[in-house]
Amino acid sequence: MTPARSARSSPGTARALDRPTDGDYLRPMKTSWLASAVLAAAALAWSQSQPPAPPPPPAAPRVPPPAVEGTERMIDVGGRRLHCAVYGSGGPTVVLVSGFGAPQSYWNPVLAGLAEAATVVTHDRAGYGRSERGDLPVHGRQAADDLHVLLGKLGVPKPYLVVGHSYGGRIALLFAAAYPADTAGLVLEEASHPDLPDAQLAALTGEDREKLAAMIAPYRTTPPDPRTEVDYMATTVEQVRRSGPLPRVPFVVITAASRGLGLPPVFSPEGQAKLADAAMAMQKKLADLIPGGEHILVEGVGHNVHVDKPEAVVAPVLAMAARIRAEAAK
């Protein structure tokens, strides 16, 4: 295992890195929910004949402190400073991109395993954790651009192996499309294909379809004065659709085998089965975005695979990193 290094921030300041607290999870922009939570809350609103509203943040799973220490920095990406941390050494650099509302400490369970064989970078997006919100938008393409500037200023080894969890998967796709020469590989963990809502709507009929349409309607348009990543959800989805071709790089999609199950009981049993089938079919379609993409199903986990079973994420990422190094050595 990589020996622990002293955590450092700006010169003359030292402290432990990213010890997670409840405040870490609940502070950022009140957007800490997963797609299933959106469905559940909106479904409840439907059942009560009320307009669907964004749910409160769910209790985030506890994660341990990182088992390896790293160097933290604040990086000015132009208009705002973002907090980041670097672990390990060597290339390719593994870049971890969090989902909605999750601080970089959410990746703690996989840091030691990844840092044994590569440089690893985590960061808090604008408005999350200790990163500044600034006045720029917080849609997916801006997040990808911010990340590219941050990595360049850090000076970590290129190219980058980008790992995106949930909403972070959309940012990873936008990053790869915008910066193909700097992208060596992509891993999407429990991310969603941009066409998932349409596929699920198409799978349903009657009252089930009406319920789902009402549930997702608030997230299919951008409000007049968007401020949060959720406000920009429709914008980000459209950006992914229009982002152009992805680079021909190693590509892995990691999916919980339970994906699409456990939906709120407002749908008929037949409707729930169709929604689950559509969700899994779209995961396979997601893996097809790059020729040769691999789809990995993980049993016994929920949406947060890297928390529930860290080795299920560490192993394919390290295998991809080794493949990238081997190709570079030819």
pLDDT at residue 308 tops 70: yes
pLDDT at residue 150 tops 60: yes
Sequence letter at residue 231: D
Least confident among 17-21, 98-102, 107-111, 245-249: 17-21
CA distance 4 to 112: 9
pLDDT per residue as tens digits for the range 127-142: 999 999 999 999 999 9
The domains located in the chain, with CATH, are 22-329 (3.40.50.1820)
Query: Which residue in the block uniquely carries the two structure tokens 């922009």?
Result: 29
| DSSP alpha helix (H) spans, 139-232 | 140-154, 167-178, 196-203, 206-216
Beta bridge partners of 94: 120, 161
Is the pTM above the cut of 0.85? no
pLDDT at residue 160 tops 80: yes
Q: Write the CA distances from 130 to 23, 58, 152, 307, integer angstroms.
A: 11, 21, 20, 22
Strand residue runs (E) in the chain: 71-76, 81-87, 93-97, 120-123, 160-165, 183-189, 251-256, 294-298
pLDDT per residue as tens digits for the range 182-206: 999 999 999 999 999 999 999 999 9
Output the six-digit token pair for 94: 């593994």
pLDDT level of residue 23 (50, 70, 90 thresholds): very low
Average pLDDT, the chain: 84
